[in-house]
Amino acid sequence: MNHLRLNLLRPNSQHLPATLIKRNSTPWDATTRYRTRCLRQDTVSKLAAAVDSQNVIHIRGTPASGKTVLSQLLLDYYLTNDRNVFLLETWEPLEASQSGDPWTRFGLHLQQKYPEFDTTWKSVPANTVVIIDEAQGSYRDTYFWNTIIKNRRSGQDKDIKICLFSFYGSPSTGVEEDDNKNEFTPVTFGPAQRITLTPQLDEDSPDIGLFYTEDEFREVVSLLTTNRFDEPFAIDKTAMDYMYDLTNGHPGGVTAIIDFLQNRHRNLLKHKEIRTITMDHVLQSLKDENGFFGFLRNHAVYRSFPRGQHLTSEAAGALGKVLVNGGIPFEIDDATMRKCYERGWVHRISEEQIPQSHDIAVLPSRLHEVWLEWFMGNKPQHLPDRFDQLRTLCREVLEGFSKISLRRAVEGKKISTAAKPRPMEAQYHDEFYRAFYNVTGIGVPLCSEWSRSGNSRVDFYIPQKQWAIEFLRDYDRVDEHISRFYPGGKYFPWLQEKKVVDWIIINCASSPPTRAYSEQNLWTAVFTNCSSDLRVYDYQMRPLFSVPLHD
């Protein structure tokens, strides 16, 4: 069988570059093919292990999330390990073939790219791998899903492995039950057979995602800054941490931001006035939000941003709800939500709660949240007139906190942006963001820290009123937070320039204050009884108001 194997691996030369066609007798070495591409060896080896153990793996991710590159890296991995492997970049319905059973039609599809492929499958070795990119194009193909995928999912029929890459699809079935015209019952994918943007919490889920891990992110940044431009440069650790939090490791977003930073500093780099881009450089560059998002129009990540004629007012409203809540229940019968999902503007993720589960819609990354904040800021709604004082607004927002949301955050069960659970320390920040828009209505500009884990900008800024709101948790560095608004502090220039005319610090805690402070702009919000009750104190430990929290 070995003499046939090399012929099966040799695709039609019009489809692939020569480096993929010529193996000859030399070892397969993907490292020589790319100078700026992270080979993601740990991720790829774990993906291959999942494919080999599960027969069918379904990988879903929004546009520019790294699906095509990962499919190519998986191909390289199998070639390196002397495995039979085929990669289909697009899908042609099996029904288009003139005759034959589904397997023969599938073989004919493969033969179009690999001319010597045996459409009878008799000479195809066991454990051959078929990788299919843009697999969402196959969802309406009854022959494929009701025979080939269903049989391989149950371990029957031809002994091959299939890896599907799609930019949308049901987490549990791929195909929507109401999308197949012959009304067959779709195959189901358990946690072990599905991979999404980031690793999921279920113990059966593969410990990988489409997005870069932190180590992969650092490798990518190093490769890009060293090999992509005429003048190599470095990015310091603080700036890299900030960029990773902003992108969540989104491959398209990472490349775009590196290009943007190089573009903004190219003259300084060219004349060797700087060699390292620092956090200050990053923050200064990102101040020009119009320039930043305008620059991204030339990059792949832009495909994943809501825009154009398809972004109707209804779609913008639905996206606003996803942004404000961190995620909302996904309803396939909601035409607007379905449009956002099938265009790749939101990602659909399953929240497993045995014996029941439900799907939610989330945004792909923090970068996409910032895009929507910027977009809504360009068409702002006015803050209701009743909020003529910052403290009036803060009180009503705090009274609108949800005890259920706070509890879920503490339990680590709140899945949000990038299909990741929100960290417990972000619970009050996230809840203020949600409750603010419940009180004011979606569309009132509320600028938030670009990197949710960073501390380079005030947590919330309301430009219409020039108000600033800073959050801290459980009395953590109270004096330091106060000092940020005074001479020498990072926010003091804003007060001098009249960009901030009023500000407040809200310390969220689980126990009452035990000492007074001299800063009148400090509140302590104490949540007790499993987040069912809220009592707020002023800087002198005097109670201001208390309220039971709703669901």
The residue to which tokens 């800073």 are assigned: 470
Per DSSP bridges, beta strands 533-537 and 522-528 are: antiparallel
CB 165 within 8 A of CB 99: no
- Please give the tally of structural domains in the chain: 3
Residue 549, SS3?
coil
Q: Report strand pairing: 543-548 vs 533-537.
A: antiparallel
Q: Which residues contact 134 (CB under 8 A, 6 or more apart)?
A: 89, 90, 91, 165, 166, 167
Distances in whole angstroms, Cα of residue 505 to Cα of each of 383, 394, 538, 542: 20, 10, 11, 16
Q: Give the mean pLDDT of 129-158.
A: 95
- Condensed to tens digits (0 to 9), the pLDDT of residues 273-299 reads 999 999 999 999 998 999 999 999 999
Taking a C-beta distance cutoff of 8 angstroms, is the pair 250, 371 a contact?
no
Token pair recorded at residue 327 = 């995620």
- State yes or no: pLDDT of 354 exceeds 90: no
Which tens digit of pLDDT belongs to each residue from 330-353?
Answer: 999 999 999 999 999 999 999 865
The pLDDT score that the predictor gives to residue 425 is 76
Cα distance between residue 474 and residue 431, in whole Å: 16
Cβ burial 120-152 (10 Å sphere, 16+ → b, else e): ebeebeeebbbbbbbbbebbebbbbbbbbbbbb
Same domain, 7 and 105: yes
pLDDT of residue 78: 98
Those residues with Cβ within 8 angstroms of residue 528's Cβ, 6 or more apart along the chain or in another chain: 510, 511, 535
Task: Give the pLDDT of residue 4.
Answer: 31
* Residue bearing the bigger pLDDT, 326 or 32: 326
323 in a structural domain: no
User: Contact, 399 vs 392, CB < 8 A?
Assistant: no
* 30 and 148 in a common domain: yes
3-state secondary structure of 14: coil
pLDDT at 7: 33
Residues 90 and 239 in one domain: no
b/e code 180-198 from CB counts within 10 Å (16+ = b)? beeeeebbebebebbbbbb
Long-range contacts of 186-193 (CB under 8 A, 24+ apart): 186/145, 187/56, 187/145, 187/149, 187/150, 187/153, 187/154, 188/153, 189/56, 189/58, 189/153, 191/352, 192/50, 192/53, 192/54, 193/50, 193/54, 193/56, 193/57, 193/58, 193/153
Residue 104 lies in a domain: yes
Assigned domain for 37 exists: yes
CATH of the domain at 166: 3.40.50
Other beta carbons within 10 angstroms of residue 24's beta carbon come to 5
Instruction: Please check whether residues 179 and 279 belong to one and the same domain.
Output: no
Residue 86 pLDDT > 70, yes or no?
yes
In a domain, 356, yes or no: no
Residue that finishes a domain, picked among 304, 338, 364: 304
- Same domain? 123 vs 255: no
Which residue is associated with the tokens 């113990």? 203
Mean pLDDT of 96-102: 79
Are 275 and 410 members of one domain? no
pLDDT given at position 13 = 35
Task: Print the domain residue range for 222.
Answer: 214-304
Residue length, the chain? 551
Q: Is 343 inside a domain boundary?
A: no
Pairing status of strand 522-528 against strand 502-509: parallel
Query: How far from each other are the two terminal CA atoms of the chain, in whole angstroms?
Result: 65
**Is residue 227 scored above 70 in pLDDT?**
yes
Three-class DSSP category at 205 = coil
Which of 289, 304, 319 is the last residue in one of the domains? 304
Question: Scanning the structure block, which residue is given the tokens 């960009």?
Answer: 499
Instruction: Report which listed range, 73-82, 87-96, 378-387, 409-418, is most confident.
Output: 73-82
Give a yes or no: residue 310 inside a domain.
no
Residue 1: pLDDT band with limits 50, 70, 90: very low
Round the average pLDDT of the chain to a whole number and report it: 90
Give the tokens for residue 96: 């288009």
Report pLDDT digits (tens) over 492-521.
999 999 999 999 999 999 999 999 999 999
CATH number of the domain that residue 238 is part of: 1.10.8
Within this chain, do residues 172 and 108 fall inside the same structural domain, yes or no? Answer: yes
Question: What is the pLDDT at residue 500?
Answer: 95
State residue 450's pLDDT score.
62
* pLDDT value for 455: 53
Can you give the pLDDT at residue 532?
96
Q: Which of 304, 335, 368 is the last residue of a domain?
A: 304
Q: Kindly state whether residue 347 falls inside one of the protein's structural domains.
A: no
The per-residue pLDDT for range 19-54, each reduced to its tens digit, is 333 333 334 455 545 788 999 999 999 999 999 999
Report which of residues 8 and 107 the model is more confident about.
107
In the chain, pLDDT over 70 holds for what percent of residues?
90
Same domain, 170 and 64: yes
Average pLDDT over residues 153-163: 95
Regarding whether 387 and 490 lie in a shared domain, the answer is yes
228 near 36, Cβ under 8 Å? Answer: yes
Task: Please tell me the predicted confidence (pLDDT) of residue 152.
Answer: 96
Distance between CA 225 and CA 303 in Å, rounded?
24
Residue 544 shares a structural domain with residue 424: yes
140 and 17 inside one domain: yes
Question: Are 395 and 300 in the same domain?
Answer: no
Give the pLDDT confidence score for residue 33 in this predicted structure. 55
Q: 466-495 pLDDT, tens per residue? A: 999 999 999 999 999 999 999 999 999 999
Is 352 a domain residue?
A: no
pTM of the predicted protein model: 0.88
